[in-house]
């Protein structure tokens, strides 16, 4: 990022100023893979064109051979949303790869990937241990992202359904299942609550639901549909124990009992943790 800023200064490419609505570069986003030496650089720009972009790309890829892809994301909005809808792959394939618990994952610009891969392996291993999966189990992985939890637990169960509302994440998840030769994982682009309602309507049985929501936790509508689906076990992974505690209160009222809880230090040198909670009906 420091080198990118030097190059922008060299070619007189101005940062975007949200007060005057002038300039061009809003953000520089990087993603790196932990187990593979691969990096992604994303220029988030206000305008469609970045002057001298080819010189900048040539310099960066020459100096940093680990850069596998460079992307331009165009965001002409005037609010605090980081990423725009339009993107152009300027160099490489538009994604990087990483491995996690024996599986290889494609990570694209908009797909969510945990920021601390070493501790993610601790987190997922503990969550799977808590779930006590049987080879006959059918599992729903709500908020599945690019399929990291789904594909990790697939070898322990009969069938896993991964559900996610971000279309690109589901595209990546399907590709990740294919590249890892996993055939008992099915990925659906849908609201998780709506998907579970359809399961109830079809009178299908689910043994366990894995829940890993964003910081705001689960909506009341989602929790209602989850309890209507009535799985035997719920494994709730949270990055915000306050909203997890709120949701737990609701689930206890609906007849679920917390059996185990395990915090995992995902964010060293901060007060934040990921927290695993096992509930049984």
Query: Model-level pTM?
Result: 0.83
> Count of CB atoms within 10 A of residue 143's CB?
21
The domain total for the chain is 2
pLDDT at residue 121 tops 80: yes
Cα–Cα dist 152/171, whole Å: 17
Q: What is the CATH number of the domain that holds 276?
A: 3.40.50.150
The confidence band for 71, taking pLDDT boundaries of 50, 70 and 90, is very high
Structure tokens, 11:
């070619």
Given this model, what pLDDT does residue 49 score? 96
Given this model, what pLDDT does residue 170 score? 93
Average pLDDT rounded to a whole number, residues 75-90: 94
Given this model, what pLDDT does residue 166 score? 87
One domain for residues 158 and 56: no
One domain for residues 7 and 137: no
Q: Is 182:149 a contact under the CB 8 Å cutoff?
A: no
From 93, 108, 123, the end of a domain falls on: 93
Average pLDDT rounded to a whole number, residues 37-64: 97
pLDDT at residue 193 tops 90: no
Cα–Cα dist 15/139, whole Å: 47
Helix (H) or strand (E) holding 225: helix 220-229
Q: Is 215:266 a contact under the CB 8 Å cutoff?
A: no
Given this model, what pLDDT does residue 74 score? 97
Host domain of residue 69: 2-93
Please choose, from the candidates 60, 115, 62, the residue with its C-alpha nearest in 3D space to the C-alpha of residue 72: 60
Average pLDDT rounded to a whole number, residues 82-91: 95
- Dihedral of alpha carbons 275, 122, 31, 182, sign: negative
**Which distant-in-sequence residues (6+ apart) come within 8 Å of 269 by Cβ?**
none
Given this model, what pLDDT does residue 111 score? 78
In this structure, are strands 39-45 and 67-74 parallel, antiparallel, or unpaired? parallel
Average pLDDT rounded to a whole number, residues 208-224: 93
Q: What is the CATH number of the domain that holds 39?
A: 2.40.50.1070
The confidence band for 200, taking pLDDT boundaries of 50, 70 and 90, is confident
pLDDT at residue 137 tops 90: yes
Q: Is 105:97 a contact under the CB 8 Å cutoff?
A: yes
Q: Is 208 a catalytic residue?
A: no
One domain for residues 261 and 125: yes
Given this model, what pLDDT does residue 204 score? 87
From 43, 61, 93, the end of a domain falls on: 93
Cα–Cα dist 55/33, whole Å: 25
pLDDT at residue 126 tops 90: yes
Q: Is 107:135 a contact under the CB 8 Å cutoff?
A: no
Given this model, what pLDDT does residue 168 score? 85
Cα–Cα dist 233/230, whole Å: 8
Model confidence pLDDT, tens digit, residues 256-279: 999 999 999 999 999 999 999 999
One domain for residues 125 and 31: no
The DSSP symbol for 169 reads: H
One domain for residues 28 and 108: no
Cα–Cα dist 30/214, whole Å: 21
The confidence band for 56, taking pLDDT boundaries of 50, 70 and 90, is very high
Cα dihedral 212, 42, 177, 181, rounded to 10, equals: -140
One domain for residues 139 and 16: no
pLDDT at residue 254 tops 80: yes
Model confidence pLDDT, tens digit, residues 92-119: 999 999 999 999 998 888 877 778 888 9
Residue of 144, 208, 218, 239 marked active site: 239
Mean pLDDT computed over every residue of the chain: 94
Q: Is 216:243 a contact under the CB 8 Å cutoff?
A: yes
One domain for residues 138 and 239: yes
One domain for residues 163 and 209: yes
One domain for residues 83 and 195: no
From 93, 110, 128, the end of a domain falls on: 93
Given this model, what pLDDT does residue 114 score? 79
One domain for residues 38 and 143: no
SS3 for 127-162 is HHHHHCCCCCCEEEEECCCCCHHHHHHHHHCCEEEE
The confidence band for 206, taking pLDDT boundaries of 50, 70 and 90, is very high
SS3 for 66-118 is CEEEEEEEECCCCCCCCCCCEEEEEECCCEEEEEECCEEEEEECCCCCCCCHH
One domain for residues 69 and 32: yes
Buried b (16+ CB within 10 A) or exposed e, 69-81: bbbbbbbeeeeee
Please choose, from the candidates 262, 250, 255, 253, the residue with its C-alpha nearest in 3D space to the C-alpha of residue 233: 255
One domain for residues 73 and 39: yes
């Amino acid at each position: 990022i420091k080198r990118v800023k030097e190059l922008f200064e060299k070619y007189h490419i101005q940062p975007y100023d949200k007060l005057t609505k002038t300039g061009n570069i809003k953000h520089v986003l990087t993603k790196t893979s932990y187990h593979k030496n691969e990096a992604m650089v994303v220029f988030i720009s206000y305008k469609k064109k970045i002057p001298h972009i080819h010189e900048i790309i040539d310099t960066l890829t020459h100096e940093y051979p680990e850069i596998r892809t460079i992307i331009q994301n165009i965001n002409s909005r005037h609010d605090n949303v980081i990423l725009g809808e339009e993107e152009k792959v300027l160099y490489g394939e538009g994604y990087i790869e990483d491995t996690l618990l024996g599986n290889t994952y494609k990570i694209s610009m908009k797909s969510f990937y945990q920021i601390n891969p070493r501790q993610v392996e601790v987190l997922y291993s503990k969550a799977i241990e808590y779930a006590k999966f049987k080879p006959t189990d059918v599992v729903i992985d709500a908020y599945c992202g690019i399929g990291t939890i789904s594909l990790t637990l697939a070898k322990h169960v009969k069938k896993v359904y991964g559900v996610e509302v971000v279309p690109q994440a589901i595209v990546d998840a399907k590709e990740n299942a294919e590249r890892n030769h996993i055939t008992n994982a099915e990925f659906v682009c849908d609201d998780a609550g709506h998907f579970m309602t359809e399961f109830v309507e079809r009178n299908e049985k689910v043994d366990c639901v894995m829940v890993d929501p964003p910081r705001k936790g689960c909506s009341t509508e989602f929790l209602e549909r989850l309890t209507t689906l009535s799985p035997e076990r719920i494994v709730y992974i949270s990055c915000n124990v306050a909203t997890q505690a709120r949701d737990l209160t609701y689930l206890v009222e609906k007849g679920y009992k917390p059996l185990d809880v395990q915090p995992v230090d995902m964010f060293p040198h901060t007060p934040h943790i990921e927290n695993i909670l096992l509930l049984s009906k």
